Chain A
Amino acid sequence: MGAVGPMTEAMYYILLTLTVPSHGYQLMSAVTQASRSRVRMGPGTLYGVLTRMETDRYIEIVSDDGRRKTYAITESGRAALRAETDRLRAMLDDQENWRGAKGCLTESNGPKELTD
């Protein structure tokens, strides 16, 4: 099992989209769709991640007819995805709740001084 920690964007989206079993081409389209065209994954990245996650048992091959492999997420993959989603959500919550953070990410506002 690979080290559990922050995931790369590619890894996150592949795990997310493999909640629906897919083969390579479907997966690439699904990633683009899930990320609303923000993430366009190259085939080298796609197969690099798939090979690694298969070794780490986050995904598995559910069908292989010799030409085409269909992948699906495993239980440990789901757990890793949940953990990463929670981590990202917690980060967003932290950002929203931090007292000096309100409006700090808009371009018009400069750095704010903290006041008690």
Chain B
Amino acid sequence: MFDRVERPERADGLVRKWLPQDLYSIDQMESWLTDMAAEGLFLVSIGACFAQFRRGGARNVRYRIDVLSRELTTDELVLYDSCGWHWVLTKEESRIFGGDIEFYVFQADEDATVPELHTDPMEQANSLRRLNRACILDALWALMFVLLFLGLSVYPMVSFHELGRFLLYGPTNGGWMQIPVWIFWTALYTGRWRSVRRLRKRLLLGEPLDHRAGYRRRFRYGVLRMAVPLGLIALLVAPLICAQAAGGGNFQSLLLPEGTPDFPVVRLTEFRGRGVEDGVEGETRHKWTVAGAVVDEIWEYGDYEEDGAQIELSTVCYRLPFAWTSTLAFDALLDDGFYEGIHENYYVGEITPVSTDLVDEAWAAAPAGDNGGRFALFVRDGRYIVQTFYSDHTTDFSGDPDAAAAYRDRCVERILPLLARRLNG
């Protein structure tokens, strides 16, 4: 039987170290493990990001990594052992296509007269051929997924309408979330492929691997490689955050008994006076979208004490990062003509422009059968887009479009000045 290297029985006392490279950079990993042993740290296990070591007496040890397409049998490990190479661990890389790849880590005392694990550079290059092919395949698969999800996400936005929807609601499918994940995998697999290609190139020239290859610069480069994409993402997101933060105090908060929503909104009691029976009830919602829009919603309802009518007022406010994007988003909103409320979804119906100097742009819809008898007002001002919906369930305008239009105009006259004051506050 062979002697596997000494392993601790308990996990206490194990030292965990961040991996400077993965096993695909064979020469640098061998060099790093040798340096660790010189500090008295002997390899026990290797994970995705960390390696575990046991403490022992510092000594000079050679580490070698062998890449195989199959598991070694006991007899084969005995042969390695009899040649002075003690098996440390095996790390299996499972693959959907092309079969698994086994990384065997061996160690031998530096001072012992142990022949090299690989004595023929050309043959070692051949043994890395399959690994090289697997790395290329992995990188291509990952790249294909990047392109696929990019295509799925970008293709719907070839129209201004979809681009406007994106500005308002953020990504409308999950593809966007997949893109950074697959970019990460593509970068990782490409890095592995470059490492293996570099090693093969050297071996094919007849030069054995440099088992004491420098890894420190590459380690720093690896850290930099992780920091650059994260920095880029931060740079992309920072303007959105700054733009939103800068506009945070541009409107008044309303001092009403039922709360002070921090966005430009006309409240139900303002609109109908304070004659609402038993107060007003409702809910608010606040969210961000990936595209950088801040969405605030409020839904209020109550019974009006004069006639007992149930009245309802809903407002949705989109605060976009930049004013110049609001036209596109506003057009998409008007085209959709659909309102997804806190508790209810409905169509807005036919809308008409409102002539006003109070805000940049306003449209309104009269109550009708196809919008559930709701009045709707759409306002765009600077980087704000505000939708207001009002319904009075005792009033029926079906069959009387003139009365509905007059009702719409009255609502506009009462709501728009209040809203404009708040927007320009």
Contact = CB atoms under 8 A, between A and B. Distances in A.
Interface of A: 8-11, 23-25, 28, 39-49, 51-52, 66-69
Contacts of B140: none
Contact of B68 (A28, A41, A42, A48): A48
A101 B69 CA distance: 45
B73 A44 contact: no
Contact of B75 (A24, A46, A48): A24
Contacts of B85: 43-44
B39 interface: no
Q: Looking at chain A's contact residues, is the secondary structure mostly helix, strand, loop, or mixed?
A: helix
B70 interface: yes
Interface of B: 64, 66, 68-70, 72-76, 78-80, 82-83, 85, 115-120, 122-124, 126-127
A45 B68 contact: no
18 contacts: A10-B122, A10-B123, A24-B75, A25-B82, A40-B115, A40-B119, A41-B119, A43-B79, A43-B83, A44-B64, A44-B116, A45-B118, A46-B79, A47-B72, A48-B126, A52-B127, A67-B73, A68-B75
Given A25-B78, A42-B116, 10 more contacts: A8-B123, A10-B119, A24-B75, A28-B83, A41-B120, A42-B119, A43-B80, A45-B119, A45-B123, A48-B123
Contacts of B75: 23-24, 67-69
A101 to B, nearest CB: 24
| A11, A40, A44, most chain B CB atoms within 10 A | A44
Contact of A44 (B82, B122, B124): B124
Contacts of A48: 66, 68, 118, 123-124, 126-127
Nearest to B84: A43
A69 B68 CA distance: 17
A23 B76 CA distance: 9
Contacts of A42: 83, 115-119
Contacts of B124: 44-45, 48
A49 to B, nearest CB: 6
A41 to B, nearest CB: 5
A49 B82 CA distance: 19
Contacts of A46: 79
Contacts of A41: 119-120
A69 B119 CA distance: 22
A46 B115 CA distance: 12
Contact of A8 (B70, B80, B83, B122): B122
Contacts of B117: 42-45
Contacts of A47: 66, 68, 72, 76
B376 to A, nearest CB: 71
A45 B66 CA distance: 9
A69 B117 CA distance: 20
Contacts of A67: 73-75
Contacts of A40: 115, 119
B119 A28 contact: no
| A9, A41, A48, A52, most chain B CB atoms within 10 A | A48
A23 B78 CA distance: 12
Contacts of A69: 73, 75-76
B58 to A, nearest CB: 26
